[in-house]
Structure 1
C-alpha cells in the first residue's frame, strides 16, 4: 500500500546549483531516521565553472550526512581534517554529533567539466548519540555489497537488507540501497522495518497497477512491496525504525529546540571550527531567527 506520494520541489542552493528537495515534507517529515533527502542533477557542468556553484563551509549538529553519486565528483573537506573526493557508487558518511563543519567543492568539474548526478540524505541520530564525537568515513568497493538478479543491479549503501550488510556505521536500524533496473525488471522493498519508501531518481516504475515517474518518492505502508521498471530506471529504497520527534533548523537537527538555538548562536559567533583546508569563506547563518517548528517524527 502506498501511503503518500511526494513530488520533489526545486530549490536553488545559490550560484545556480539547484536540487530537488523531497524530505522533509509537510505531510511526512521523516521516513525512519531519514529526515532530509535532496536529489541533485543530472546536470552537465562546463570547464571553468565559477566558485559560486560550490557549497562553502557550513555546520551540522545531530545528524549524519550521506552523500552518494551516480555520476560526477565532489570534493569534501571537513573540520576533522578529512579531504576526500566522492565518486560514483561511493559513500561519504559524516556524523556531525555535537558539531562538525564541511565544504563541498566542484573542483573536478572546474578543471575538465563533469556530468553531476546524486543524492544527499540526512539521517537523524538517536538522542543518546546526538552529542557524540563527530566522525567521517568513506566507503567504496566491498564496503557497499552488490548483487544482480533478474535485471536488477543493487548496491547496498547502508544498513542491512536483501540478506546483506553495508560497512558504514549506523546508529539506529535502517536500510538504504541503490537499484539499477532494466525495463520490465521487478524489485522488492524490504519489509523488515516499520517505515519504508522508494525514490525514483530516473526512469519510471509501476506499483499496484499505477505508474510513477522520476522525481517522486513513494512512502509505503506495511507488508511486501514489489515494483516493476517501465523503462530503464534508477531507484533508491530506504527506511528504518522511527527514532522519535525531531526539530530542524537550517543545517541543524535535534530533539531539543534549545539545542538548535545554541548551535545557531555558536555558528554566528564563530565558535565552530572551519575546515583547515577550506577556512577562507563560509556560509553565514540565515537572518531569520530559529522558528518554533513543529516536531518531526
Structure 2
C-alpha cells in the first residue's frame, strides 16, 4: 500500500543555487536510514555564475553524505585532506561520524563553458554505536557498482542490497539505494528485502495502481506493499530505503540521536574545533542564527 506522496519543495542553499528538497518532510522524516535528500538541477550554468554555486566548507556529524551525479563534475575537499572530483555514475560516500568539514566546488571546465549539472545528494543517518566513529571518505567508480539490464530496464545498485545483489559500497546499517532507468512501457518492482521503501521520480512519469506520478514526487510504501511500477514514458528513478534506526534530530547539517550532541556540534563549529579542509580553508559557512528553533527542525540550508 502507498503510505505517502512527497512533493519536492524548492530550497535555497546559497545565493546562486536552489534545489528540490524531498527529505526531511514534515509527515515523513526518514525512509529507512535516509534522513535527507536534495535534487540539484538540471541547470545550465554560465561561467560568471559558477562561483556563486559553490558550497563552501561546512560541518557534519552523525551521518554519511552520499553524492551521485547524472551530469557535470564536482570537486570535494574535506578536513581529512581528501580532494576528489566526482563524475557521473560515481559515488562519493563520506561518513562524518564525530565531525568533519567539507566543501563542494564546481570547477569542471565543461561546466565553465556553459555545460549542465544534475546531482542527487542524500544523508544516511548512522546507528547510535557509529555516531561518534572517526570520519572517513570513499569514492567508488562505476565499474565497482553492480549494473543489471533487462528488456526496457537499466539499474545500478549504488549501495546496500537489493534483488539478490550486494553493493561494494561500505554502509553502516541495512539499506538499499538504486538508480533505475525505464523505457516507456517497461515494468519494475520494489525490492522486498527491506521494511521501508521509497521511489523518487527524477525524470519522466510512472504509473502505480492506475495513478500517474511525475518528476519531483517521492512515493513511500509500507512493508507489505509490492507495487508494479510502469513507465508511462521513459523515466529515471531513484529507489531507496532500508531498516529504520529510531528517532533522529536534525538541525542545519547536524544529525544525532541526542539533542545535546547537536548543541555541542553548534559550539564546536562556532569555536573552530571542527577543522576546515586544508586545501580549502580561506572561507566557510558560519553557523546560522538559531532563532530559538529546537533541534529536530529541517536544516535551513545544505546540499551535502
TM category, shorter: over 0.9
Deviations 1:174-195 (A, max 9, x none): 0000001111111111011111
Question: Take 1:68 and 1:290, find their aligned partners in 2: how far apart are those partners?
Answer: 34
Question: Take 2:231 and 2:99, find their aligned partners in 1: how far apart are those partners?
Answer: 41
Q: CA deviation at 1:275?
A: 0.3
Residue 32 (str. 1) matches residue 32 (str. 2): yes
Of residues 254-263 and 45-54 in structure 1, the stretch that sits farther from structure 2 once superposed is 45-54
TM-score norm. by structure 2 comes to 0.94
Deviations 1:117-146 (A, max 9, x none): 110000000000000000000001232110
Q: CA deviation at 1:110?
A: 5.5
Which residue of the partner structure matches residue 271 of structure 1? 273
Give the SS at the match of 1:49: helix
For structure 2, the residue ranges without an aligned partner over 5 or more in a row are: 299-304
- Within a 5 Å distance, the mapping from 1:93-132 to structure 2 comes to 93-108=93-108, 111-132=112-133
Question: Take 2:281 and 2:111, find their aligned partners in 1: how far apart are those partners?
Answer: 20
The answer to whether the Cα contact below 8 Å between 1:261 and 1:290 also exists between their aligned partners in 2 is no
- Within a 5 Å distance, the mapping from 1:108-257 to structure 2 comes to 108=108, 111-221=112-222, 222-257=224-259
Task: Report how many aligned residue pairs link the two structures.
Answer: 296
Question: Take 1:40 and 1:126, find their aligned partners in 2: how far apart are those partners?
Answer: 27
Q: CA deviation at 1:50?
A: 4.0
User: Quick one: structure 1 residues 290 and 174, their matched pair in 2 at CA, closer, same or farther if it must change by over 3 Å?
Assistant: farther
Question: Take 1:293 and 1:257, find their aligned partners in 2: how far apart are those partners?
Answer: 6
- Alpha-carbon RMSD across the aligned residues, in angstroms, is 1.4
Give the SS at the match of 1:13: strand
Question: Take 1:111 and 1:150, find their aligned partners in 2: how far apart are those partners?
Answer: 37
Give the SS at the match of 1:172: coil
Give the SS at the match of 1:280: coil
TM-score norm. by structure 1 comes to 0.96
The answer to whether the Cα contact below 8 Å between 1:41 and 1:117 also exists between their aligned partners in 2 is yes
Which of 283, 286, 291 aligns to 2:285? It is 283
Question: Take 1:50 and 1:280, find their aligned partners in 2: how far apart are those partners?
Answer: 18
Which residue of the partner structure matches residue 49 of structure 1? 49
Question: Take 1:50 and 1:90, find their aligned partners in 2: how far apart are those partners?
Answer: 22
Q: CA deviation at 1:294?
A: 4.9
User: Quick one: structure 1 residues 50 and 88, their matched pair in 2 at CA, closer, same or farther if it must change by over 3 Å?
Assistant: closer
Of residues 105-114 and 174-183 in structure 1, the stretch that sits farther from structure 2 once superposed is 105-114
The answer to whether the Cα contact below 8 Å between 2:57 and 2:276 also exists between their aligned partners in 1 is yes
User: Quick one: structure 1 residues 274 and 295, their matched pair in 2 at CA, closer, same or farther if it must change by over 3 Å?
Assistant: closer
User: Quick one: structure 1 residues 255 and 115, their matched pair in 2 at CA, closer, same or farther if it must change by over 3 Å?
Assistant: same
Deviations 1:74-131 (A, max 9, x none): 1100011111111111100000000010000001156333211110000000000000
Give the SS at the match of 2:261: helix
Give the SS at the match of 2:262: helix
For structure 1, the residue ranges without an aligned partner over 5 or more in a row are: none
